[in-house]
């Protein structure tokens, strides 16, 4: 088990032997160099000890953007995160399941690896994507509904909507009927209340939805800084007002549910921020508040969303019995910084000022390296967590569902949350035995796998195309690997150095020393474990399941020149 503290790493935990005993069937490794309306929850017996739960997730916030994690490499004050760290627990080896938005959010919502799940067809560009999973699929909200919680979702959705179109064709610019509610959205996936943007803040349509109905008149075409994606916009929509609008919605949600919560009818709120994802657009009230420029100001406003939420809980007397979790969907974008236009290696300007959004880690959003997937993770629970504690055990964002099931004493069926493991025991005993011993992670063009301290990257480079700054770029890395190997590899040889990378994160957090050539037996063992988890349709103990996707069993090299550019998602 890889563990990290302020000095980087501590002791490792033993491998879980149960992962060695599963049967094999098939496997997919998507690699750069390989083919790769509101419903009231049912009343249950009041229990005033049942905690409210608020899950706050930033968008593109890096490990080093959070002061309790970036430490001396962080130059942005984050008082909200600092308060959570002081009053709760830091998880220093927490990971996203993917280094881009949609699969990361899908894993959180379902407790399953996103590559197992088949999305619906009919996607248009950006915020016009179709639902990434079908209504009826078990979700975090369904679990909490069954437990008697009032559930809410506020913020960036980006899991797809089914919009009504005027011509019956795929939803896109020019054919959406904004006067009609969407047919599939958060409320169809178990949430009693929702107030959302369809996608990221630079992904049209730029319009809010409340309980799946569009708000206002979509009669303009606008775009915002960074990528300037011009598209349908509600007539009064402004990018710099979005966080303020979400904060107001959160405060109202807490106020509406405070009385019931005190009577033993708790609530769950998923607060999905749109920041510091581009466009980098802090509200005027936050401009000039930091020493490193507009990016720092935006991170500072992002942090204020925590402060505002904590203040609302205290105002309504709910702070003593509410679990507050804060994290990010993946690492920082290399194109984001103080230049408002999306720019190659924009992040380097911040680093030159002494602020490292990825902290001590290698790589950024899109990549398989730690900077793309290791994230800040803070949790406060006054009744259970000792203030100011640190846990160095491995967890994934997909573990939220099983953890919430434990917290609420809910039972999961054998086909639910098949890749989710509860970290509840670690909240009272952060240095206890490791609960999660392995984790599968996706870059945009490569996969990685954690097994204890070991990390296997199934690609010779960054696992990201490198359009915005990740290096080595795939085709460069592939060419260099073939040259070093002396010939084109066979399929079996794709699991040999230099076509894969192996790091021991206990000794090499910065991922500078590739040990694949020295330890081929570890590479083979880790790949076999991945294969097992694919074949079984699950990575947790239980009966074999089927993956929703049926077209996963492919393997081979992507020809040079065929790699698509990364989409800013």
Tell me the pLDDT tens digit for each residue of 135-167. Answer: 889 999 999 999 999 999 999 999 999 999 999
At 561 the pLDDT is 32
Please check the confidence at residue 41 and state whether its pLDDT lies above 50: no
Closest Cα partner for 306 from 331, 280, 269, 334?
269
Query: By residue range, what is the domain housing residue 362?
Result: 17-441
Return the beta strands (E) in 397-530 as ranges.
438-442, 447-451, 454-457, 501-504
Residues near 483 by beta carbon (within 8 Å), at least 6 away in sequence? none
Element (DSSP H or E) covering residue 351: helix 347-352
Residue 247 has which token pair?
């904060």
pLDDT of the residue at 134: 87
Residue 525 domain flag: no
- Residue 170 located in a structural domain: yes
Residues in the chain: 569
Pairing relation of β-strands 213-214 and 209-210?
Answer: antiparallel
Digit-coded pLDDT (tens) for 160-216 = 999 999 999 999 999 999 999 999 999 999 999 999 999 999 999 999 999 999 999
Burial class (CB in 10 A: 0-12, 13-18, 19+), 215: middle
Residue 267 lies in a domain: yes
Asked, for residue 27, whether it belongs to a domain, the answer is yes
189, 196 contact by CB (below 8 A):
no
User: Tokens standing for 298?
Assistant: 């935006």
Q: Which CATH number belongs to the domain containing residue 324 in this structure?
A: 3.40.720.10
Predicted local confidence at residue 136, as pLDDT: 83
Of 247, 252, 262, 271, the C-alpha closest to 157 is 271
Q: Chain centroid to CA 219: how far?
A: 32
**Is residue 13's pLDDT more than 50?**
no
Task: Answer yes or no: are the C-beta atoms of 430 and 453 closer than 8 Å.
Answer: no
Task: Please tell me the predicted confidence (pLDDT) of residue 18.
Answer: 30
Peptide bond preceding 191 in cis form (omega within 30 of 0): no
Find the helix or strand (DSSP H, E) in which 70 lies.
helix 67-70
Q: What is the mean pLDDT of residues 76-86?
A: 98
**CA 275 – CA 281 distance, rounded (Å):** 9
Phi, psi torsion values for 53, nearest 5 degrees: -135, 125
Largest CA-CA distance found in the chain, in angstroms, rounded? 71
Residue 175 lies in a domain: yes
Q: What angle do CA 352, 356, 358 make, to 5 degrees?
A: 145
Any domain includes 487: no
Q: For residue 52, tell me if it sits in a domain.
A: yes
User: How many domains, in total, are found in the chain?
Assistant: 1
Flag whether 428 is in a domain.
yes
Residue 9 has pLDDT above 70, yes or no: no
pTM above 0.85, yes or no: yes
Q: For residue 154, what is the enclosing H or E element?
A: strand 150-156
């Amino acid at each position: 088990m890889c563990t990290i503290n302020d000095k980087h790493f501590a002791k490792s935990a033993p491998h879980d032997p149960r992962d060695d005993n599963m049967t094999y069937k098939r496997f997919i490794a998507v690699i750069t160099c390989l083919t790769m309306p509101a419903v009231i929850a049912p009343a249950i017996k009041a229990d005033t000890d049942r905690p409210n739960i608020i899950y706050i997730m930033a968008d593109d916030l890096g490990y080093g953007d959070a002061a309790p994690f970036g430490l001396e490499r962080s130059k942005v004050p984050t008082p909200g995160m600092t308060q959570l760290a002081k009053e709760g627990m830091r998880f220093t080896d927490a990971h996203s399941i993917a280094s881009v938005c949609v699969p990361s959010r899908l894993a959180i919502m379902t407790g399953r690896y996103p590559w197992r799940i088949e999305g619906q067809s009919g996607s248009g560009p950006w915020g016009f994507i179709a639902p990434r999973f079908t209504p009826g699929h078990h979700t975090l909200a369904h679990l909490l509904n069954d437990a008697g919680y009032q559930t809410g979702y506020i913020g960036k959705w980006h899991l797809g909507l089914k919009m009504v179109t005027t011509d019956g064709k795929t939803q896109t610019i020019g054919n959406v009927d904004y006067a009609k509610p969407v047919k599939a959205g958060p409320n169809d996936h178990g949430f009693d209340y929702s107030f959302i943007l369809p996608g990221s803040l630079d992904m049209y349509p730029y319009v809010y939805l409340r309980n799946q109905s569009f708000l206002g008149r979509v009669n303009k075409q606008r775009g915002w800084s960074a990528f300037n994606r011009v598209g349908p916009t509600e007539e009064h929509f402004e990018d710099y007002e979005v966080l303020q609008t979400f904060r107001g919605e959160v405060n109202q949600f807490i106020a509406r549910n405070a009385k019931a919560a005190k009577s033993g009818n708790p609530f769950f709120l998923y607060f999905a921020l749109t920041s510091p994802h581009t466009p980098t657009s802090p509200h005027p009230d936050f401009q000039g508040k930091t020493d490193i420029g507009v990016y720092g100001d935006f991170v500072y406003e992002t942090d204020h969303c925590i402060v505002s939420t904590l203040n609302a809980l205290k105002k309504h007397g709910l702070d003593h019995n509410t679990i507050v979790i804060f994290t990010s969907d993946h690492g920082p974008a290399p194109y984001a910084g103080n230049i408002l236009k999306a720019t190659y290696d924009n992040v380097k300007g911040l680093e030159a000022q002494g602020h490292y959004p990825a902290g001590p880690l290698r790589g950024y959003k899109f990549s398989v390296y730690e900077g793309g997937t290791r994230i800040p993770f803070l949790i406060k629970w006054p009744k259970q967590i000792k203030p100011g504690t640190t846990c160095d055990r491995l967890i994934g964002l997909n573990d939220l569902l099983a953890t919430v099931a434990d917290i609420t004493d809910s039972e999961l069926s054998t086909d639910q949350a098949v890749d989710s493991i509860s970290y509840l025991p670690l909240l009272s005993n952060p240095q206890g035995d490791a609960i999660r011993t392995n984790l599968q992670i996706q870059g945009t063009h490569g996969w990685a796998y954690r097994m204890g301290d070991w990390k296997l990257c199934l690609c010779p480079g960054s696992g990201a195309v490198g359009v915005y700054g990740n290096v080595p770029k795939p085709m460069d890395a592939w060419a260099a690997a073939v040259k070093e190997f002396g010939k084109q590899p066979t399929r079996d040889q794709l699991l040999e150095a230099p076509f894969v990378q192996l790091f021991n994160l206990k000794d090499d957090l910065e991922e500078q020393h590739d040990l694949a050539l020295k330890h081929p037996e570890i590479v083979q063992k880790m790949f076999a474990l991945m294969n097992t988890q694919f074949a079984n349709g699950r990575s947790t103990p239980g009966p074999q399941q089927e993956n929703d996707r049926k077209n996963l069993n492919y393997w081979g090299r992507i020809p040079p020149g065929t790699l698509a550019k990364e989409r800013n998602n």
